[in-house]
Structure 1
């Protein structure tokens, strides 16, 4: 499964094609799905184009995407920097009237367990984001672990080879804990394409898009998310 991560924390200053408004996100999502992505990961923005977890912003963005792409799974970020207050984040999640199919929760964040349980209580799927062995150990002991949708392993430090040592160590912790959830492996910037290729080699899900990087394998900046997804699908054909 290839997920398109359309914007992340990026702004138009990073790349003019970063989608920010609901209509831009919906149009970009439609192009990414046509190019071969199967799911979407979005950072919701408010009318000032700042990241948001407010119910009206979540509803506006999800409704715009689903109008264009009915039936396509859509996930949103709940990253701590969007709203660095545990009680406020919990209240926002509980206030949503239009629900995403899943949310991404970074397990290194202080209130990760509570956000996971709150989402699951509302029937929202959870992608558990792991960046380190410590994250893996914490997740392995977490209530509701096995009810999560999948594990996201993000590797930001280059480690050449067929399988990076960091991925191997994180997977080892999960296996010893009896965790058999699907894995989505992805990188960021210089590791985006190496981790995508590693995911193909090992049969993991992956993601590509402006959140993780804007460079093509050639080192040229991509025009948009569609070009990144099309490049990923061309690489996939070689495996």
Structure 2
């Protein structure tokens, strides 16, 4: 499986083709769906481009994307930097249960963040699948010790910038015994090497402007569809 990560936390000025508004995200979703993508990860924004977890903005973005790519799994973030208070974050996520056509199919929860278990439970209660983000070995050990929360669809092994395939393999050594599907990916300079490793190992992976602005040869990508086409 190749997931397209369309925008992430990047500012609009990071790339001229970075999708921020619901219409832009919908257009990119349609473009990558034409290339065979069936799984999306995106960060909804408000009217001024700031990341949000509030239900109305999440629903508007998801509904636009779903209309443009109706057969695609739509995932969003629950990152703590958007709403640092863990209780408020879980409360907002729990409210997604009533979003109807604007309710995401899955959402990522970062295991190293305060309140991650409460957020995962809020997603489960809202009928939304969980993707567990594991940024480093310490988080992998936390997950191993705590156990996989109910409702988890996959574990995201997320190799950070400046790291590479050795760190990817170290994460996999800790995560594979947990028995859940793993999506392995990198970010910035680790994006392409880790993607190629994932392909070699037969693991799910992802690509998009959230993870890299560059093609594998270091030239600027024209947009999400360009990156997906190169990774396919």
| TM bracket (short chain) | over 0.9
The alpha carbon displacement at 1:219 in A equals: 1.1
CA contact 2:198–2:204 (8 Å) conserved in 1: yes
Q: How many residues align?
A: 228
Match of 1:236 in 2: none
CA RMSD of aligned residues (A): 1.5
CA contact 2:159–2:167 (8 Å) conserved in 1: yes
TM-score normalized by the length of structure 2: 0.93
Deviations 1:176-217 (A, max 9, x none): xx4110110000100100011000000110000000011001
Match of 1:64 in 2: 64
Whole-angstrom CA distance in 2 between matches of 1:54 and 1:201: 39
TM-score normalized by the length of structure 1: 0.90
Match of 1:213 in 2: 212
The alpha carbon displacement at 1:167 in A equals: 2.6
Q: Tell me whether 1:136 sits opposite 2:140 in the alignment.
A: yes
Whole-angstrom CA distance in 2 between matches of 1:23 and 1:85: 30
Q: How does 1:127-206 map to 2 (within 5 A)?
A: 127-142=131-146, 144-145=148-149, 147-158=151-162, 164-175=165-176, 178-206=177-205
Whole-angstrom CA distance in 1 between matches of 2:12 and 2:171: 34
Q: Tell me whether 1:124 sits opposite 2:128 in the alignment.
A: yes
Whole-angstrom CA distance in 2 between matches of 1:34 and 1:119: 29
Whole-angstrom CA distance in 2 between matches of 1:26 and 1:112: 29
Whole-angstrom CA distance in 1 between matches of 2:207 and 2:35: 12
Relative to structure 1, the CA distance from residue 58 to residue 50 in structure 2 (aligned partners, 3 Å threshold; closer, same or farther) is: same
The alpha carbon displacement at 1:85 in A equals: 1.0
Match of 2:13, SS state, is coil
Whole-angstrom CA distance in 1 between matches of 2:148 and 2:126: 13
Whole-angstrom CA distance in 2 between matches of 1:183 and 1:28: 25
The alpha carbon displacement at 1:172 in A equals: 2.4
Whole-angstrom CA distance in 1 between matches of 2:170 and 2:148: 22
The alpha carbon displacement at 1:113 in A equals: 1.0
Q: Which runs of 5+ in 1 are unaligned?
A: 234-239
Runs of 4+ in 1 over 6 A off after TM superposition: none
Match of 2:14, SS state, is coil
Q: Which runs of 5+ in 2 are unaligned?
A: none
